[in-house]
Amino acid sequence: MIRLDERKERLLGILASKSRLKILAVLWKASGKELTAHKISQSSGLKKKTVYRQLPQLVESRLVSKKTYGTICLYALNRESGEAEALTKFFTGVLSP
């Protein structure tokens, strides 16, 4: 049996969602650019409601960073997160041509 600490258990739970993985893939493909939830929705093919529901969990997990400018929120992969860096390597290996 594999024993994981609470942080790793939560991270695996985050990655278990197809919708969250699509959002992360869109942010990875954006190459560090910050995107609105609307743009993430368009790029991922997910409904805006789904994106808005999933983004807070990704931000809380520290895989995604969020910046707010007035009423506009911008999201990007959190380049300061070791887990996000590992995810970037995974996406590069799996999704790159």
From first to last of the 97 residues of the chain, give the pLDDT tens digit.
778 788 888 888 888 899 999 999 999 999 889 999 999 999 999 999 999 999 999 999 999 999 999 999 999 999 888 888 888 888 888 887 6
Domains of the chain are: 17-87 (1.10.10.10)
How far is 7 from 26, CA to CA, in rounded Å? 24
Full-model pTM: 0.89
Distances (CA, A) of 95 to 7, 60, 65, 87: 26, 25, 22, 11
Backbone angles phi, psi at 64, to 5 degrees: -125, 140
End-to-end CA gap in the chain: 36
